[in-house]
Amino acid sequence: MVEKEDLLKDGKRRDGRGLTDLRPLRINAGVLKKANGSALVEWGKNKVLAGVYGPREVFPKHMTDPYRAIIAARYIMAPFSGIEEHGRSGPNRRSTEISKVVKNVFQNAILTDQFPGTMIEIQMEVLQSDGGTRVAAITAAAVALADAGIPMRDIPVGLSAGKVNGEILIDLDKYEDNLGQSDMPTVILPRTGEILLSQLDGMLTREEISKAFDLILEHSKIVSEKQEAALIERYRKVSEEIGEGEANDSG
Ligand code: CDP
């Protein structure tokens, strides 16, 4: 059993991180063959897969918007993703809420007016969870959308900060989230620092919120660089494949 007192000892967290260290983050783009865009994010013990389909025909048809693309988003936890005291997996009030906030985030990031009368579908599957899955899912979905070639104002970054035993820290894991005092999952556009989403579980003072935002803004650069690196690597692989194809055609 992890107790509240175990979360911070001499400025170190249970996994050895300092207050302002992120968990190890690995991002891969283009991991699914059949999706238009995809990404796998492994962030600490979290593993989230995102797939994007579209722009495509709207279903159901009456939802069509003649001026812009509509966004559909679905966040779901796999039954084996680490559900403990939280009960069953599958669609529930929590996953419905997260799907809704993800939809709002991307409605404000995607240049939807470039694809009138269509639909862009974002699917996020949490394969393994350890706190911060909604921000990991948004970080993955952002890369999947870029991989699908869907234009956005910037590639959104999801990151959370919070309060544990009186200290403000970044990138809370499950125990810090569950036993800590507060968690503030946030989504920003890293280039401008524009906030697309900020949720707050628990209480923070005005000063603490400001400190948490500063930490998020600073560390979002690290996440953003990983997203870009994943996309560059994806394009490198695709151009290699095209190159090989051309070589085979001419040979
Ligand atoms: O994952 P995130 O922090 O965005 O959402 P949360 O609702 O604050 O949940 C925190 C953590 O509790 C999740 O990341 C999971 O590790 C765990 N959880 C779970 O195992 N089963 C659920 N049904 C809900 C949460």
Radius of gyration of the chain (CA): 19
Q: Which of 53, 235, 212, 236 is nearest to 135 (CA)?
A: 212
For residue 83, name the pLDDT band (cuts at 50, 70, 90): confident
- Asked whether residue 5 is domain-assigned, the answer is no
Residue of the nearest CA to atom 20 in ligand 1? 83
Q: Which of 196, 120, 132 is nearest to 162 (CA)?
A: 132
CA-CA-CA-CA torsion sign (229, 230, 234, 237): positive
- Does ligand 1 come within 6 angstroms of the Cβ of 162? no
Tokens 């956005």 found at: 152
CATH classification of the domain holding 78: 3.30.230.70
Answer whether residue 88 shows pLDDT above 70: no
Q: Ligand 1 pocket: which of 129, 169, 173, 176 to mutate (most atoms <8 Å of CB)?
A: 129
Q: What is the pLDDT of residues 54-63, one digit of tens each?
A: 999 999 999 9
Say what the alpha-carbon torsion angle 10, 215, 75, 231 is, to the nearest 10 degrees.
-110
CA-to-CA distance for 19 and 214, rounded, in angstroms?
13
CA 167 to chain centre: 24
Q: What is the pLDDT of residues 28-40, one digit of tens each?
A: 999 999 999 999 9
Quote the pLDDT of residue 148. Answer: 98
62 lies in which domain range? Answer: 12-245
- pTM (2 d.p.): 0.96
- Asked whether residue 221 is domain-assigned, the answer is yes
- Asked whether residue 251 is domain-assigned, the answer is no
- Does ligand 1 come within 6 angstroms of the Cβ of 82? yes
Residue of the nearest CA to atom 14 in ligand 1? 131
- Does ligand 1 come within 6 angstroms of the Cβ of 133? yes
Q: What is the pLDDT of residues 167-209, one digit of tens each?
A: 999 999 999 999 999 999 999 999 999 999 999 999 999 999 9
- Asked whether residue 7 is domain-assigned, the answer is no
- Asked whether residue 6 is domain-assigned, the answer is no
- Asked whether residue 1 is domain-assigned, the answer is no
- Asked whether residue 62 is domain-assigned, the answer is yes
CA-to-CA distance for 241 and 245, rounded, in angstroms?
6
For residue 250, name the pLDDT band (cuts at 50, 70, 90): low
- Asked whether residue 113 is domain-assigned, the answer is yes
User: What is the number of domains present in the chain?
Assistant: 1
CA-CA-CA-CA torsion sign (84, 122, 43, 221): negative
Quote the pLDDT of residue 186. Answer: 98
- Does ligand 1 come within 6 angstroms of the Cβ of 83? yes
